[in-house]
């Protein structure tokens, strides 16, 4: 008798498809990134000097001296690292709320919906490496910004609001400071939200309309549908967007920590110290992702 072949389950098929999609990255990582990664890890525990005649590097094992120098001796690195983590923790909820709200709007039916969606995706293109380089290194734009700051006597809206609150006798505490910071860099939040909007939008479009129809028949309001259907059904994508947003923030082209590490490596040629700083930064990123993922994953609803 012929043995019956075991059929793959849907979860197994999805897992195979997922591995096939990430296979090019795995191959590229093993071929081009694994060796430099191991070399950088070795350098972080060594005093690195260029060999005479340019024949490579000379590494002397110094245990954790480079890590101690990065954390306790260097005057700038720890400050920049703490400020960078603080900025990420402030931008993370704002980016997620903004992108989810925009995705809800773009999921509605209205005229020129495709055009409006393209507009919200434009920041992804505009935030590419070339455009960002033009934005931050363009002498004309920098000159215009300096002229505007020198000739303008007007205050920002947040400054006016702060003055009003203080005048009325209320002190602008930490909460008001958080809100004012978000208002001041709402442009940056919009620029960073393009991919998150697309991920949320794709998740919203997978929700069956029959679920909302059945809920309305049962007497559910739009507010109840949002909390009982929409939010649970896209909760797994919230976790995806959290991880993406954290990594994207830590790897931005205008990241001060990465610029400092790059300057330490290229300009000052402190290869061991810059490697230690890089690994500290990398571990901090992993720890933050792990803690937040552990907390959020307990609230994620998975469905077949």
Encoded tokens for 9: 């389950």
User: Which tokens go with 1?
Assistant: 């008798």
Give the residue among 37, 40, 44, 36 at the shortest CA–CA distance from 63.
44
Let me know: does 108 contact 209? Beta carbons within 8 Å.
Answer: no
**Pick from 89, 90, 92, 117: which is nearest to 102 by CA?**
117
- What domains sit in the chain, N to C, each tagged with a CATH number? 57-127+192-297 (1.10.3720.10)
- 28-66 pLDDT, tens digit per residue, is 999 998 998 999 999 999 888 877 766 677 888 888 898
Residues 122 and 194: their CA atoms lie apart, in Å, by 7
CA-CA-CA-CA torsion for 112, 193, 235, 102, nearest 10 degrees? -30
Q: What is the pLDDT of residues 71-122, one digit of tens each?
A: 988 889 999 999 999 888 888 888 899 889 888 888 887 787 777 777 777 7
- Model confidence pLDDT, tens digit, residues 214-231: 888 888 888 888 888 888
pLDDT digits 0-9 by tens, 269-295:
888 899 999 999 999 999 999 998 888
């Amino acid at each position: 008798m012929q043995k019956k072949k075991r059929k793959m389950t849907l979860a197994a098929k999805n897992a195979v498809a997922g591995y096939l999609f990430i296979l090019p990255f795995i191959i590229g990582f093993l071929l081009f990134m694994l060796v430099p990664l191991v070399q950088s890890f070795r350098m972080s525990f060594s005093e690195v000097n260029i060999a005479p005649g340019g024949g490579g590097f000379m590494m002397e094992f110094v245990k954790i001296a480079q890590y101690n120098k990065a954390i306790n001796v260097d005057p700038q690195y720890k400050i920049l690292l703490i400020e960078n983590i603080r900025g990420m923790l402030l931008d993370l909820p704002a980016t997620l709320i903004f992108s989810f709200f925009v995705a809800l709007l773009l999921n509605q039916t209205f005229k020129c919906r495709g055009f409006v969606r393209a507009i919200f995706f434009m920041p992804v293109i505009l935030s590419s490496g070339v455009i960002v380089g033009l934005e931050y290194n363009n002498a004309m734009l920098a000159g215009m910004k300096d002229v505007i700051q020198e000739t303008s006597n007007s205050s920002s809206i947040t400054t006016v609001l702060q003055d009003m609150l203080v005048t009325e006798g209320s002190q602008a505490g930490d909460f008001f400071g958080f809100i004012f910071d978000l208002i001041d860099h709402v442009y940056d939040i919009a620029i960073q939200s393009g991919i998150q909007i697309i991920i949320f939008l794709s998740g919203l479009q997978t929700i069956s309309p029959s679920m909302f129809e059945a809920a309305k028949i049962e007497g559910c309001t739009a507010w109840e549908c949002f909390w009982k259907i929409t939010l649970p059904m896209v909760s797994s994508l919230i976790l995806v967007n959290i991880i993406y947003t954290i990594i994207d923030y830590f790897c931005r082209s205008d990241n001060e920590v990465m610029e400092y590490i790059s300057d330490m490596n290229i300009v000052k040629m402190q290869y061991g110290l810059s490697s230690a700083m890089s690994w500290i930064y990398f571990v901090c990123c992993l720890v933050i992702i792990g803690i937040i993922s552990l907390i959020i994953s307990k609230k994620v609803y998975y469905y077949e």
